[in-house]
Structure 1
Amino acid sequence: MARSPLILVALISLIPLLCHSFSPETPTGRRILVLVDDLAVKSSQSLYFKSLSSRGYELDFKLADDPKIALQRYGQYLYDGLVLFCPTVERFGGSIDQAAILDFVDSGHDLIIAADVQSSDLIREIATECGADFDEDPAAMVIDHINYAVSENEGDHTVIASDNLIKSDVILGSSKIEAPVLFQGIGHSLNPANSLVFKVLSASPATYSANPKSKLSSPPALTGSAISLVSVMQARNNARILISGSLSMFSNRFFRSGVQKAQSSTKHEKSGNEQFLTEISKWVFHERGHLKAVNVKHHKVGEEDEPAVYRIKDDLEYSVEIYEWSGSSWEPYVADDVQVQFYMMSPYVLKTLTSDKKGVYSTSFKVPDVYGVFQFKVEYEKLGYTTLSLSKQIPVRPFKHNEYERFIPAAYPYYGAAFSMMVGFFLFSFVHLYSK
C-alpha cells in the first residue's frame, strides 16, 4: 500500500512522454496515425509513406477496425496527424468515431482523407463535415473522354491525366509540376457555404461523374469544372485537411507510371503524382506556409517603453515580427499586405505595415481625436498561409484641463470680440456715469 502513491506519481510523469503536440520547431518525431482497410496498403503505397518517413515523421499503421486504436489517452492526443486510407470502413474500432475525428481537427491537428469507389457512408460524412460532398452514387467514377491517360486507357476513360493545378507556390512549392497527375476515383463538389475549402486539383470542363458500367438514363449530377478531384481546407484554428477522391493516386503504380495525355503528343516518363502529393503533404503538415508573430510592440514616437495609456493626438509607433517556417528553420516573412487596425467598435485607423525584409513590420500614426478603449488588431489571412490574429488593448484619454493650448490661432476673432466688448462696456459705463 505504501508503494501505490509512488507508482501513481511515476505513471503521471510518463504521460507527457506519451503525448506529442504539433510544433514546427521539432519536425522529427512527430507521430502520424495511418488507418487502412488492409495492411497491404502499407506496401502498395510505400513510396508515399517513405516520403513522409524521410522527412522525420513516425508512422503508426493500424487497421481501421482495430479495437485497440485511440487518438488520445489521459486527455492528451497521441498523434499530430491522421491519415485515413480506409475508404470502405463502416465503423472505426476502439474509441475512434466521426465525432472523435472532428474533435481531433478542432484541436488543431491535421487530417488526410482518401476516398474511392464504393466509399462508405462514414468516410463520406467526415468529408461532408469538412466541406466536400462526394457523388451520392456509390458506383460513380470521374470520367473524361478528352483528358484521359492513354497509357492507362482501359476503354472507360476513368484514368484521368489532369494538369488543372492550383497556382500557389506556398501550397505546391516553387518547382513546377511538369507531368499531369493521374487520378482514378470519385469526384466531389465543394460546399459553397464553406469558404475555407478550395480545389487544388480540378477536373476539366469535359468531365462528368457517372457509373462507367451502365448507360446514362439522366444527366449526371456532377459535371465539368464543378468537380474537384483533390481539395484542401484550412480551418479557422489553422488545422489543415486534404480530401482526395482517389486512393489509387497515392499508389506506387501511379507514382512510377508514365503518362501521355489524350490528344497530346508529349509523353512523360513519370507522372506528376509523387511530386504533387509530396509537395501538398508538406503544406498539410505545416512544413510550408506556417507563420508566427512575435515581439508585438507599440510606444510613443521618441520613446521605447510601452505606455499604460495614450492621449488623443499622440504620435505612436507599432511593430511586429513575422516569420515563416521553411521546413528546417524560421525565416523572415516578406510581404506588402500586412495591415494593422486601431480599433474601437470600428477601425479608426487602418495602416499597411512596412517590412524591413528581415521580418520586422512597423508603422506610425497619430492617435485619433476620440477617447475610449482601443485595440491594435492584425488580422492576416492569405491563401495557403496560416492565419495571424493579434490583438492588444490600450485606453486612450482626452486632454487634461492643463494640457489644452491657452491661445488658439483659430479663436483670435472670438478673443477680439470678447475684449472689444469689454472695452466697449467700459467706455459706455464711463460716458454714462460722467456725462451731464
Structure 2
Amino acid sequence: MRLIFIVFISICLANKTLVILERNEDQQKFSQFIELLKKNGDEVEIINKMTLFQLFENGEKKYSNVILLTPHYTFKKVSVKEFIQFIDNGGNMVITLGKKYEDGYKQLLYSLDMEVDSNGSNVVDEKHTVKIGEFEMIFSNNVHNNQNIFNQRIQNILFSGIGLYLPPSPFTSSLLKAQDSASTSLFPNVSFAQETNITLVASLQARNNARIIVSGSSLLFSNIAFDSVIEHPSLNLIKSDNKKFTENIIDWVLQRRCVIRMKNIHWEKINGVKEVDYDHQLVINDTIKVNVELEQLNQGNYVPFNVDDLQIEFKLLDPVIVKNFKRIDNGKYEVIVQTPDKFGVYTMIINYRRPFLSYLEYKETIPLRTFRLTQVDRFLTGAYPFYAACASMAVGFIVFSFIYLNQIEKKEIKQD
C-alpha cells in the first residue's frame, strides 16, 4: 500500500516547477520565460523570495525543478545544504545572478564545481555594448556548438551581469561565453573565468543526471531581452536570440530533451564448455551474446536511439576486454564477446556518457571459474608436443636399456 502511495505521489509531483522571484511584480517582467516553463503543460508554482516553502515533503522531493530568478535570495528559509540535497535527489535547477548577489550563492556554486566573480563586478565589452531601454547590455554570439543542446543556429545573445569561472571538470560546460574583447569592471586587465573568454552561462549534469543551469544575468531571461532589436554599427538591425537560446536550455534542464535510457538488457551463453546441473556459472573463454536497447525522449515519447559508439567492458581491476556493440535494428544492439581466459570476479559494464545526454551505466558482477575435472578434455591438443616428448623419451629409454643390457651380456660371454 505504501509503495502504491509513493508511486501516486511521484506521478502527481512529476514535472512540477517552483519559480522564486525577487518580488511578485516580476511575473510580468519574466512572463515569456514562465510561459516556456508551462509549454508542455507542466505545473508551475510562483513565489517571491520572502515566501516560506519546502523542497521536501514526507522525505520526497516536492518539486522536480527549482528556478531561482533572484540574485538576492538569502538562503535563510531554505539553506544551501537543502538545495544541494535537492540536487543529490535528482532535482534540476536554474540559478540566476546579477552584478550584486548574496554570499550563499558562492557556497552553492562552489558545491557545483563553479565560481563567480567578485560581488559588485560586471562583464563589460566596449566593442559589443548596446543600450536596451534603461539597461546597458553586451551581446555575444559565442554559443556552445553542440547539436544535442542547441539544435538550431543561435547568435547575438543579450547579457547584463557577472562572469563565471569553471575549473576543469567533466561535468560542467560553458553554454555562452563573452567575446574576446570582454573583461570585468573590477579587474579590466584580467580576463576572469577562462584564459580567453569569460563564461556567461554554464551548465552542469551531475552523476545522477540532475541538471543545473547557472546564468550570470537574470535579465537574459526577461521580456526586454527576448523582444529587443540590437542596433550596433557592426550589425544590421537584428532581433536578439535570447528567447531561442532560453528555450533550448530550458528544454534541456527540465529534461524534455537529451534524455536517453537503456532497457531489455540481456545476455546468454552461446558457446563454451557444457554446463552442469548444479552450476550455471560462466567459465573462462566462454562465448556470450549481449543484447540491449537504447531509447531517447522525443516530444514526451521514447523513440529508438541510434549510435555507433556503444561499448561493453569486462573489468577486473582494469578493463580486460573492451568491444563495440553492433546495431542490428532500430535502437537495438548486440555484441558477441569471449570471456577472459583468467578466472576471477569480473564486472560487466555498459557505460555511455556523451556531452549533454543522460549518463547511462549498467553494471553486473559475473564470476568466472576455471574448468572442472569433468569439463577438461582427456587429451589436450595443445599438449601434443609434450605427449610426443614423453613418448619418445620412454621409447628411447627402452631402446637404450635393451642395447646397454645386450652389450653387457656379450662382454660376459667373451670373458668366459
244, 250, 265: which is aligned to 2:235? Answer: 265
Question: Which AA in structure 1 matches 2:263?
Answer: V
Q: Deviations over 1:317-350 (max 9, x none)?
A: 1121111111321111111111110111121110
Task: Give the alignment's Cα RMSD to 1 decimal.
Answer: 2.7
d(CA) in 2 for partners of 1:112 and 1:147?
Answer: 26
Relative to structure 1, the CA distance from residue 17 to residue 423 in structure 2 (aligned partners, 3 Å threshold; closer, same or farther) is closer
Instruction: Using the TM superposition, give the Cα deviation of residue 129 of structure 1 relative to its aligned residue in structure 2, in angstroms.
Output: 2.0
Structure 1 pair 299/45, CA: closer, same or farther in 2 (3 Å)? same
1:98 maps to amino acid: V
* Aligned positions of 1:33-432 closer than 5 A: 33-66=18-51, 68-93=52-77, 96-136=78-118, 138-149=119-130, 152=132, 158-172=136-150, 174-177=151-154, 179-192=155-168, 194-210=169-185, 219-220=189-190, 222=192, 225-260=196-231, 262-268=232-238, 270-301=239-270, 308-431=280-403
Maintained 8 Å contact 2:212/2:253: yes
Deviation at 1:265, TM superposition (A): 3.3
Contact kept in structure 1, 2:183 and 2:189, CA below 8 Å: no
Contact conserved, 1:140 with 1:186, CA < 8 A, in 2? yes
Note if contact 1:184-1:246 (Cα within 8 Å) is conserved in structure 2.
yes
- Secondary structure class of the residue paired with 1:146: helix
For residues 383 and 199 of structure 1, the distance between their equivalents in structure 2, rounded to whole angstroms, comes to 12
Once residues 158 and 10 of structure 2 are traced to their aligned partners in structure 1, the CA distance between those partners, rounded to angstroms, is 35
What's the CA shift for 1:392? 0.9
* Displacement of 1:426: 3.1
Amino acid at match of 2:161: G
Match of 2:413? Answer: none
Q: Identical aligned pairs, as a percentage?
A: 26
User: Residue 49 of structure 1: CA displacement?
Assistant: 0.4
- The 8 Å contact of residues 271 and 286 in structure 2, kept in 1 or not, is answered as no
Q: Any stretches of 5+ residues in structure 2 without a counterpart?
A: 411-416
- Give me the TM-score of the superposition, normalised by structure 1: 0.85
Assess if the C-alpha contact under 8 Å between 1:20 and 1:80 holds in 2: no
Q: Would you say the 8 A contact 2:61–2:89 is kept in 1?
A: no
SS at match of 2:16: strand
User: Which stretches in structure 1 are left out of the alignment for 5+ residues?
Assistant: 1-8
Q: Structure 1 140/416 Cα, relative in aligned 2: closer, same or farther at 3 Å?
A: closer
3-state secondary structure, aligned to 2:139: strand
Matched length: 402
Query: Can you list the C-alpha shifts for 1:29-56, whole angstroms capped at 9, x where unaligned?
Result: 6211111120111111000101111212
Q: TM-score if structure 2 supplies the norm length?
A: 0.88
How many Å separate the matches in 2 of 1:428 and 1:90?
100
Q: What's 1:4 paired with?
A: none
- How many angstroms does 1:123 deviate by? 2.4
Compare CA radii of gyration and give the structure with the larger one.
2
Maintained 8 Å contact 1:197/1:233: yes
* Number of the residue aligned with 1:3: none
Shift of 1:73: 1.6
